């Protein structure tokens, strides 16, 4: 078995857990390759039985990799989505961050993680992605995201008008600070914080959620993900922010933008005992009442 290991930032309190993970992998004869920038950070603190393989870009990943382990929070796992691209390498997130909605496996579960990978007792959840089309190149060779696409006004500029269309048919003009189009996976992220609904990962939908709308009767809407959603932007400023997950571009307001479901999917690995409903209850504290 061959794995890739990705991390963004190494902190001293992670040392023991990372050392335990690598020790378990080596003890089970599992080959692993570490993201080069992350290796440079951990190398002075972590001991290896032998020099590990390293990778630095998506081009160095192929179908010999059976899984990529993300060590960090949800933002770190979103980074791995741009690394695996359409290579169909499943992603497993170990939570070294705070909420850990996507990276839901605890840092103290390293032995369980390795045993599940070795024995193939894990579950793969297929997740859809959102793809951005534009009349100028944006986001390099990864114009897609797992969570959401968003349009947002610049800094302290006044609100913008976002004319929105479904398959060319006019939907609404949003007078707002911005607009989010979230995948089912992203419905528990930025969209949820702007009062968007939670939808199940397999629901086959997009959630369109305005950010601080001027008209209070405008509410989030759920649409089938076979729609192409296009936008025309008006505003007093000449540019606005365009984001895919945690990546951003500054875009001129005359740029043509549209989003649709990406042609490929990614898989998130979970342990058998975890599922979406349990994650909702545990991470969002559903039903928790301190009075009882």
Mark whether 239 and 276 lie in a shared domain: no
pLDDT band of 49, cuts 50, 70, 90: confident
Mark whether 152 and 246 lie in a shared domain: yes
CB 143 within 8 A of CB 161: no
Mean pLDDT, the chain, whole residue set? 92
Which of 63, 74, 141, 263 is catalytic? The answer is: 74
263 has catalytic annotation:
no
Mark whether 26 and 112 lie in a shared domain: yes
> DSSP secondary structure string, 36-55?
HHHHHHHTTT---SSPPEEE
Q: Is 105 helix (H, G, I), strand (E, B) or coil?
A: strand
Determine the structural domain holding residue 90 and report its residue range: 2-127+265-284
Where residue 96 sits, what CATH number does that domain have? 3.40.50.10330
CB 147 within 8 A of CB 189: yes
Mark whether 136 and 182 lie in a shared domain: yes
Q: What is the pTM of this model?
A: 0.93
Residue 291 in any domain: the answer is: no
- Least confident piece of the model among 13-22, 65-74, 103-112, 276-285: 276-285
Q: How many domains does the chain have?
A: 2
Mark whether 168 and 255 lie in a shared domain: yes
CB 148 within 8 A of CB 181: yes
Residue listed under structure tokens 């080069």: 36
Question: Each residue of 83-142: pLDDT tens digit?
Answer: 999 999 999 999 987 777 888 888 888 999 999 999 988 999 999 999 999 999 999 999
Mark whether 163 and 193 lie in a shared domain: yes
Mark whether 116 and 186 lie in a shared domain: no
Distance CA 47, CA 71 (A): 17
């Amino acid at each position: 078995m061959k794995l890739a290991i990705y991390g963004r930032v190494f902190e001293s309190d992670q040392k023991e857990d990372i050392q335990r993970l690598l020790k378990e992998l080596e003890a089970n004869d599992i080959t692993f390759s570490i993201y080069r920038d992350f290796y440079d950070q951990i190398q002075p603190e972590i001991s290896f039985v032998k020099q590990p393989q390293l990778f630095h870009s998506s081009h160095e990943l192929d179908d010999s990799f059976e899984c990529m382990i993300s060590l960090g929070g949800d933002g770190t796992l979103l980074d791995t989505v741009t690394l695996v691209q359409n290579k169909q390498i499943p992603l497993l997130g170990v939570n070294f961050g705070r909420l850990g909605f996507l990276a839901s496996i605890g840092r103290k579960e390293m032995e369980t993680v390795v045993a599940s990978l070795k024995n193939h007792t894990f579950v793969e959840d297929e997740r859809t992605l959102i793809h951005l089309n534009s009349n100028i190149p944006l986001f390099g060779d990864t114009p897609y995201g797992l969570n959401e696409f968003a349009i947002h006004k610049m800094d302290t500029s006044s609100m913008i008008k976002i004319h929105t269309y479904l398959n060319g048919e006019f939907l609404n003009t949003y007078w707002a600070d911005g607009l989010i189009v979230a995948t089912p996976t992203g419905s528990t992220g930025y969209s949820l914080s702007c009062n968007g609904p939670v939808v199940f990962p397999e629901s086959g939908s997009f959630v369109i959620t305005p950010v601080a709308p001027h008209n209070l009767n405008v509410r989030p809407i759920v649409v089938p993900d076979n729609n192409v959603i296009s936008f025309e932007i008006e505003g007093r400023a000449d540019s606005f922010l365009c984001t895919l997950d945690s990546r951003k571009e500054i875009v001129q307001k005359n740029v043509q933008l549209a989003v649709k479901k990406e042609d490929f999917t990614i898989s998130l690995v979970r342990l058998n005992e975890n599922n979406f409903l349990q994650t909702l209850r545990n991470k969002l504290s559903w039903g928790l009442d301190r009075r009882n």
